[in-house]
Amino acid sequence: MLDALSFAFFRELKEIWVSWYKLLLISLLPLTTSALLVGIFYQGVAFKLPIVVVDHDKSQLSKKLLFNINASPTLDIKYRVNSTKEAIALVQKGDAYALVEVPQNFQRDVFLQTDPKVTAMLNTQYILIGKIIKSALFKSVTSSAGEVEYVQHLIKIQNKNTSLHKITPIKLQVTAFFDTYKNYFLFLVSALLPSVWQIFIVVTTIVSFGTLFKAKKEKEFFTGGYIEMKIVGKMLPYTIVYTLLGVSFLFYIYGTQGWIFEGSFTVMIFALFLTVIAYQVVALFLFVTGFDYSRTLSLGAVYTAPAFAFLGITFPVSSMNSFASFWRDLLPISYYMEIQISQANYGANIFLELEKFGSIALFILLIIPVFFRFRKRLVS
């Protein structure tokens, strides 16, 4: 039995060594893809987003307001134009994400306290960027309004402390619970890397078995019995490689960036290992539905590619419709990410993770029909 496993394991290692395609799938491709994602989001925070302004007033106060907006690390007044039409054209072309319009008689109306309005128009197609710009604009305009109100009170009261208290009688302290760094690198890349990782696990497993059947060498490979052990042995090199890749991603995110990991790395490594096996079994299950290499690669892509959208990272699980929730339940990575989040952010006790581990293990039970289908195919 162990001889069969050893035979399949070392034969697959030789196959990998002579196959540039398999070598790429377990080394350069996942590493390059991951490096690309890291490079895209490495900055972590959005800053100096270009906006366009239209200042109809051109007063000292309007210039001060625009100075405060431009002083925000998030915003960059890249364009100053004379008409709203020109500003909208720049936003429509994608040269600016938003426009800010200061009305005529802005300074006069501020000091007459007639409630003048500064207009901001955002390109809401970029949901995240729009939200960031809205927050930055609100902070800048509020700060400017506070400065004006402070001066007005100071003229009346002639006391700095009293004037300051008049405009800020209540102070609000806002502290983020989990993404305390307010960093999109931690928020997105910690989910994107596992999402890419699971795609390569499925594709590599399908390629490993698909090329064997495509070359019609399956009878030769499985000669001598112990079909189940040979299947396990053939998967084992990839199990090891992708577990090590997963661990390296995990240590890169939480071990080299200075972010605190509250839980247990041992729990996470075990979760990684189980998830790799679960995806390998799912890939084999897809393959044995018809033993069609090309068709199974397409099925694997359909199954794994949209996974990131269903993880509940960028869209809350509680707001997902029934189909999205159903599809999420079909993905082992969903349960793995729950474990990663609960370990990284909360340091949850391992007993609280047992249900999630059990959910991942249920996918591994698909190995039973996989063994049955292989045996039926090979002995027929």
Q: What distance in Å separates the CA atoms of residue 221 and residue 367, rounded to the nearest whole number?
A: 19
Q: What's at 256, amino acid-wise?
A: T
φ and ψ at 332, to 5 degrees?
Answer: -55, -30
Whether the CB-CB separation of 182 and 45 falls below 8 Å is answered with: yes
The CATH code for residues 49-167 is 3.40.1710.10
Q: What is the mean pLDDT of the chain?
A: 84
pLDDT of residue 277: 97
Residue with tokens 């991951």: 34
Residue 72 scores a pLDDT above 50? yes
**Within 13 Å, how many C-alpha atoms sit on residue 46's CB side?**
16
Q: Where in the chain are the domains?
A: 2-42+183-379, 49-167
Mean pLDDT over 333-353 rounds to 91
pTM (two decimals) = 0.76
236/17 Cα distance (integer angstroms): 15
For residues 344-372, b (16+ Cβ closer than 10 Å) or e, as one string? bbeebeeeebeebbebbeebbebbeebbe
pLDDT digits (tens, 9 = 90+) for 1-18: 788 888 899 999 999 999
* 25 close to 203: Cβ distance less than 8 angstroms: yes
* Residue 267 clears pLDDT 60, i.e. is over it: yes
Q: Which DSSP letter does residue 123 get?
A: -
Q: What is the mean pLDDT of residues 127-154?
A: 66
pLDDT in tens, 32-51: 999 998 887 777 666 788 98
